[in-house]
């Protein structure tokens, strides 16, 4: 399923296992699910920045501004820039060898170091990922907006036409079989699936998006 790192914007192709251990580029562990209707035409190895900054990251962009902001403070400068040479870890080759070469191991352990700093930001930003307002907005959209066809190419307008909501819901249901969205506000949960998944969802949105978070060392909010 197409996902995008909410920190650096890198995208991951359908079913990518890479993100399970955190974003290889920035170590971030939050990913926004991007329904296929409005995506990124599949050239996953290109730098995410270019394709996604175009406009369809609207929700993710807005809600993750804060965490993205704090994460940029990280001294490490591996975060990708659309106009710069892609870092080594991003080449298709490196991806393929991801978990096999000693090189990859070195890269990974570096990420651990980065993560310790970032996790703090991630953890503190967690509750900010989707604001109640936005959840509100999402449910209103579902009720009021009966979408009129979709135009995947229309970009730049955050409130632009959305892909058909039923299609999106079906797609989400198929890909994320642990939670079935029966209709707005109605859910069926597959507890075994939820239990078996390494990542867990932190926010569902009715338009077929959700933001998931990978496990990290930082616990539950204990305010």
Partner 1 sequence: MGLLTNLKDSISRVTDGLFAADEPKRIGIYGPPNAGKTTLANRIARDWTGDAVGPESHIPHETRRARRKENVEIERNGRKVTIDIVDTPGVTTKVDYKEFLDHDMEKDDAIRRSREATEGVAEAMHWLREDVDGVIYVLDSTTDPFTQVNTMLIGIIESQDLPALILANKTDLPGSDVQQIANAFPQHETIPLSALEGENMDEVYTKIAEYFG
Residue 22 structure tokens: 């955190």
How would you class 67 by CB atoms within 10 Å of its CB: exposed for 0-12, middle for 13-18, buried for 19 or more? Answer: buried
Least Cβ distance, residue 33 to partner 1 (angstroms): 14
Q: Is 41 in the site for partner 1 (CB under 8 A)?
A: no
Between CA 96 and CA 205 the distance in angstroms is: 32
**Candidate list 99, 120, 128, 157; residue touching partner 1; CB under 8 A:** 99
Question: Closer CB to partner 1, residue 159 or residue 192?
Answer: 192
Between CA 128 and CA 160 the distance in angstroms is: 24
Stretch that binds partner 1, among 46-54, 62-70, 160-168, 189-197 (CB under 8 A): 189-197
- Positions in 121-150 near partner 1 (CB under 8 A): 132, 135-136, 139-140
Question: Closer CB to partner 1, residue 39 or residue 114?
Answer: 114
Question: Closer CB to partner 1, residue 46 or residue 137?
Answer: 137
Least Cβ distance, residue 158 to partner 1 (angstroms): 21
- A 10 A CB-CB count for 216 gives 17
Instruction: Check residue 197 and report its DSSP letter.
Output: -
Buried b (16+ CB within 10 A) or exposed e, 163-176: bbbeebbebbeebb
Q: Are 209 and 59 in contact (CB under 8 A)?
A: yes
Stretch that binds partner 1, among 2-10, 65-73, 74-82, 180-188 (CB under 8 A): 180-188
Least Cβ distance, residue 194 to partner 1 (angstroms): 4
Between CA 199 and CA 53 the distance in angstroms is: 25
Binding region for partner 1 (CB under 8 A): 17-18, 20-22, 98-99, 104-105, 108-109, 111-112, 132, 135-136, 139-140, 178-179, 184-192, 194-198, 200-204, 206, 215, 217, 219-223
């Amino acid at each position: 399923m197409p996902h995008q790192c909410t920190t650096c914007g890198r995208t991951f192709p359908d079913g990518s296992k890479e993100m399970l251990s955190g974003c290889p580029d920035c170590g971030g562990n939050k990913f926004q699910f991007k329904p296929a209707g409005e995506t990124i035409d599949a050239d996953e190895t290109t730098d995410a920045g270019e394709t996604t900054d175009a406009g369809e990251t609207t929700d993710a962009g807005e809600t993750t501004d804060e965490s993205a902001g704090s994460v940029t403070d990280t001294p490490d400068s591996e975060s990708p820039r659309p106009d710069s040479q892609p870092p080594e870890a991003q080449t298709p080759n490196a991806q393929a060898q991801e978990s096999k070469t000693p090189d990859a191991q070195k890269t990974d352990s570096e990420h651990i170091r980065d993560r310790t700093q970032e996790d703090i930001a991630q953890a503190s930003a967690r509750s900010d990922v989707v604001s109640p307002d936005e959840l509100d907005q999402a449910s209103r959209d579902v009720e009021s907006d009966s979408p009129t066809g979709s135009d995947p190419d229309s970009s730049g307008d955050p409130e632009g036409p959305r892909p058909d909501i039923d299609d999106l819901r079906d797609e989400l249901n198929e890909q994320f079989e642990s939670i079935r969205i029966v209709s707005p506000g109605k859910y069926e949960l597959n507890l075994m699936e939820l239990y078996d998944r390494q990542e867990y969802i932190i926010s569902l949105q009715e338009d077929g998006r959700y933001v998931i978070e990978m496990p990290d060392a930082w616990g539950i909010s204990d305010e």
